[in-house]
Amino acid sequence: MESTIKYVLKKYQEGRLDPGKAVSEFRRRHHSSPAGRAAVWSLSLAASLLLGLFLFNNWRNAWTEYGTPDGKSMAVLADGTRVTLSPGAVLKMQRHRNPRLVSLEGLAYFEVARDEAHPFEIVTDGAYVKVLGTKFSLDADRKQVRVESGKVLFAAAPDAPALVLTGRMQARVEDGTAVLSGEECLNPAAWATGRFVYENAPLAGVLAELGEYYGVVLGTGDTSVEGLRLNGVFSTDNLQTILSVIGDALEVQIEVTE
């Protein structure tokens, strides 16, 4: 059997497996004697085994890709993790090799299924995340993570110094090092969930978040309202509607600067 396997391997060309050709040639040379026919049978078995191994490795190493270029998309991974991908974002994984290891391009929101024995890992070009079970957004392009709940280990690379982030914390990679962003992140997944949720949130923080989300600068021009706090749930559909409701509820005039 060892000799026949070596014969098949001799006929193997890099990037191309053709066991049928090897068997046909072997039959042509050795079909006339009992020993030759036995050798042909042995060779056929060896070739089948090698072909099976080749196909299994292809199946095991195959990449699964998620994402659409034009709109948001959602995927439920093999381990139960839910991922919302922004337009153009791409998530890749070898689901038969390790369903808890993925790569990411673009922005995605993760709701990771908890598994104490198998941490969930995300690798991007310049950032690395490792978690057990949590909710967070990761922007691979900006190398930034924003945590909604749970704990997230964040670093520039798997072997680089890491930060441990908890709810409403955010961090980014600068010059190859993970650094904290000082401000609290009130709604790290508003783009994915379609809503802003505020519970006793400072007005200044609300306006800063809304301003960043919509690409404008928001303010009141009145220092006497700095201590005001807000409770409410708002759809992300229309900024003017949100500002109108906040203004009426807190009796403030909000100024918008493009």
* Band (129; pLDDT cuts 50, 70, 90): very high
Q: Which alpha helices (DSSP H) does the chain contain, by range?
A: 2-10, 19-30, 34-61, 190-193, 203-214, 239-250
Say yes or no to pLDDT of 159 above 90: yes
Does residue 156 contact residue 125 with C-beta atoms inside 8 Å? no
| DSSP codes joined into one string, 37-58 | HHHHHHHHHHHHHHHHHHHHHH
Instruction: Lay out the sheet containing 107-111: strands in order across.
Output: 73-76, 82-85, 107-111, 135-139, 144-149, 170-174, 177-181
Asked which of 55-69, 186-200, 231-245 is least confident by mean pLDDT, the reply is 55-69
Q: Residue 161: name the closest of 188, 183, 180 by CA.
A: 180
Say yes or no to pLDDT of 30 above 80: no
Average pLDDT over residues 153-180: 95
What pLDDT, on the 0 to 100 scale, is given for residue 56? Answer: 42
What pLDDT, on the 0 to 100 scale, is given for residue 21? Answer: 58
Q: What are phi and psi of 111, to 5 degrees?
A: -120, 90
Average pLDDT over residues 140-154: 95
* Band (258; pLDDT cuts 50, 70, 90): confident
Amino acid at 256: V
Amino acid at 230: L
Amino acid at 213: Y
Does residue 196 contact residue 205 with C-beta atoms inside 8 Å? no
Report the predicted TM-score, pTM, of the whole model to 2 decimal places.
0.72
* Cα–Cα distance list, 172 to 40, 120, 141, 188 (Å): 62, 19, 11, 14
